[in-house]
Amino acid sequence: MDNKIKILPQNLYNKIAAGEVVGRPEAVVKELIENSIDAGANEITVLIKDAGKVLIQVIDNGSGMSEEDAIVAFQRHSTSKISTYEDLENIQTLGFRGEALASIAAIAQVELKTKTVSDDVGTVVKIEGNEVIEVSKDSLETGTSIAVKNIFYNTPGRRNFLKSNQTEFRHIYDTFIRQAVSNPNIAFKFFNNEELIFNLRKTVLSERLKELFGEEFANTLIPITVEHSVVKLNGLVSKPGFTKKSKQDQFFYLNKRFFTNKSLNFAVYSGYDDLIEKGDYPSFFLFIEIDPKKVDVNVHPSKLEVKFEDESAMFGFVRKAIKETLRASNITFDIGFSNTMSFENTPDNLEHKKPDVNFTPKGFNSGFNSGFSNSPSTPGTSSIHSIFEASRRDDLDSGNDNASGIPLNSEEGIQKNIFEHKKDEDEKFNLWQYQNKYIMCETATGLMIIDQHAAHERVLYEKALLRLNSQSAFSQQLLLPIKVKLTKIDYQLAKGLQEEIHNLGFALKFINEEVVEITGIPADVKPGKEEKILQELIDQYKEYEISLNLEKRDNLAKSFSCRSAIKAGERLQHQEMFNLIDSLFASQMPYVCPHGRPTVIRLTTEELDKRFSRS
């Protein structure tokens, strides 16, 4: 009988194991930069071509390797970082598992050039699929250069799973930024397709952040330093008045190693307490120094996850540190909190007057009004007017509220009964706003409650998709162009999406590698918010690209609608509420926002009667 269990060949299990370490080009960049840092380099150059698919090269001036070490380094579980179990419990370096170079060599063509300070000449090693094909000598500078070419050339199935160059470049860029932030004492150069993206000098953290994110952003940060007997926390956090709508620019480091931890992220938010609103996210660059024996960094080959000996103690330490830093900084009074009680959300009476057709809603531009027009619906769509008229005709014909036989709890029935109609000439709609967040609407059978943000998102999303798919761009030209300074990655992203952003209605001119000029805006963007909406559109696009993996046009439409829609807390006039609901029920899918949240809920009179024990 033949044995069924076999030991896999080395080249096969190397390719399988490589998947844990090298999922995409970004992982190669991370591992190579970490090796350079561990080698004591203070100058590191990163070069990529075609988002790392063709070439990833990292050059450093570190300690270099001898010929013997250069060859052994590509064997699995070979490392200079640890040698005993005690070393594993006291990790002081970024790398230690001895898997990175072997994993990279298993799925790419690799050329290593290296020289130590004591050697007269350097060593060149060429490897393909873990097979050493050449070892030679050459005149080299002290340090190491590793060029990784044609990643996944021998595993085409995995190469096909790589995303667009734009997406893969984003991941590489983010990894580079993480390393550059945590090592301001190292000079970095970063080239993309031979274009110099960054040329960073040796400096301190505060200056490094200015180089990476701009001086304006860096000036919104306040320093934090808190020490305990076993742990130290230092870095910078954003002032409460300068939060963002996405989880961008949030960096945690443990003994200089970037890591992610949802619990500690929540600890930071908790430290801000009521100083920031729900849905706003602070920026932070926080460095934790702790005894390596009190933390486990060997959780996953990516080394992005860590486990603390006492998670709850770390949570409390971080939360208290943030809270005390903000209190000591005396910046809470810069924020415009309103402590006065307001009854603006309470309607003067439940019988609102018929809207004036000539009324121009306060605070909304003509583009907003055109989107929420009082004009008749196009064929095949539903609106307040068509629903109202259909309901009126049914009643005149039958003398009851549901003569059509349409179930009141069906979608068509909800549309039919959206507004309580009157038979007299003075038609009145009972509409009012609750908490500047929800629109309350009396219907023939109960109460309709509409989430104003979700409803507006739905309307803007469908309009944005229509523009993107039909390429029917329309912009409101600005009298005075607005210059916006973006980060280099945001500039490149906007340039890559130039056609789609134009179809949304933004007219942009790309001035240099960081500055764009807005000359026109979509009709749905409020004047005065052009720069904010563009930046939030880019931020949201990046977040959706990573978390939801959306198709490009769908991502842009969702991002635009999310960032341009009326926010919870915005006061609406009666006409604005009316127009919003009219546009919502003229959309193709009025009952959910683009993210699947409900836009409308319905509370029937029958249900209310039951709640109050009425027969």
Out of 159, 178, 203, a domain closes at 203
Tell me, yes or no, whether 153 lies in a domain: yes
Query: Same domain for 224 and 180?
Result: no
Tell me, yes or no, whether 591 lies in a domain: yes
Q: What is the pLDDT of residue 360?
A: 30
Q: Which of 458, 469, 468, 474 lies closest to 586, judged by CA?
A: 458
Q: What is the pLDDT of residue 238?
A: 94
Out of 312, 334, 356, a domain closes at 334
CB 198 within 8 Å of CB 211: yes
Tell me, yes or no, whether 501 lies in a domain: yes
Burial 218-246 (b: 16+ CB within 10 A, else e): bebbbebeeeeeebebbbbbbbbebbbbb
Query: Same domain for 320 and 453?
Result: no
Token pair, residue 586, equals 């003229």
- Other beta carbons less than 10 A from residue 597's beta carbon: 12
Q: Which CATH number do you get for residue 134?
A: 3.30.565.10
Q: Which of 116, 85, 103 lies closest to 30, judged by CA?
A: 103
Tell me, yes or no, whether 270 lies in a domain: yes
Q: What is the pLDDT of residue 293?
A: 82
**How do 187-192 and 43-49 pair as beta strands?**
parallel
Query: Same domain for 264 and 398?
Result: no
DSSP string of 176-198, one letter each residue: HHHHHHH-TTSEEEEEETTEEEE
Q: Which CATH number do you get for residue 302?
A: 3.30.230.10
Q: What is d(CA 412, CA 418) in angstroms, rounded to the nearest whole number?
A: 10
Name the residue range of residue 320's domain. 220-334
Query: Same domain for 86 and 190?
Result: yes
Q: What is d(CA 462, CA 287) in angstroms, rounded to the nearest whole number?
A: 43
CB 153 within 8 Å of CB 108: yes
Out of 303, 334, 365, a domain closes at 334
Tell me, yes or no, whether 428 lies in a domain: yes
Q: What is the pLDDT of residue 304?
A: 72
Q: Which CATH number do you get for residue 576?
A: 3.30.1540.20
Letter for the amino acid at 165? N
Q: What is the pLDDT of residue 301?
A: 58
Q: What is d(CA 353, CA 348) in angstroms, rounded to the nearest whole number?
A: 11
Tell me, yes or no, whether 212 lies in a domain: no
Low-confidence stretches of the chain (pLDDT beneath 70): 1-21, 76-98, 297-303, 330-429, 548-549, 615
Q: What is d(CA 593, CA 581) in angstroms, rounded to the nearest whole number?
A: 13
Query: Same domain for 245 and 189?
Result: no
Query: Same domain for 329 and 352?
Result: no
Q: What is the pLDDT of residue 98?
A: 53
3-state secondary structure of 77: coil
Query: Same domain for 611 and 489?
Result: yes
Alpha carbons within 13 angstroms on the beta-carbon side of residue 614 total 7
**How do 43-49 and 55-60 pair as beta strands?**
antiparallel
Output Rg (C-alpha) for the chain, integer angstroms. 30
Q: What is d(CA 197, CA 330) in angstroms, rounded to the nearest whole number?
A: 37
Query: Same domain for 434 and 554?
Result: yes
Q: What is d(CA 297, CA 295) in angstroms, rounded to the nearest whole number?
A: 6
3-state secondary structure of 512: coil
Tell me, yes or no, whether 39 lies in a domain: yes
Whose tokens are 């180089």? That residue is 211
248: left (phi over 0), alpha (psi -120 to 50) or beta: beta
Structural domains in the chain (count): 3
Query: Same domain for 237 and 329?
Result: yes
Tell me, yes or no, whether 286 lies in a domain: yes
Q: What is the pLDDT of residue 420?
A: 39
**SS3 sequence of 96-149:** CCCCHHHHHHHCCEEEEEEECCCCCCEEEEEEECCEEEEEEEECCCCEEEEEEE
Q: What is the pLDDT of residue 518?
A: 93
Query: Same domain for 147 and 257?
Result: no
Q: What is the pLDDT of residue 176?
A: 97
Query: Same domain for 244 and 155?
Result: no
Whose tokens are 């007997």? That residue is 229
Query: Same domain for 306 and 361?
Result: no
* Ordered strands of the 476-485 beta sheet: 476-485, 515-521, 507-510
Its pTM stands at 0.64
Q: What is d(CA 279, CA 436) in angstroms, rounded to the nearest whole number?
A: 16
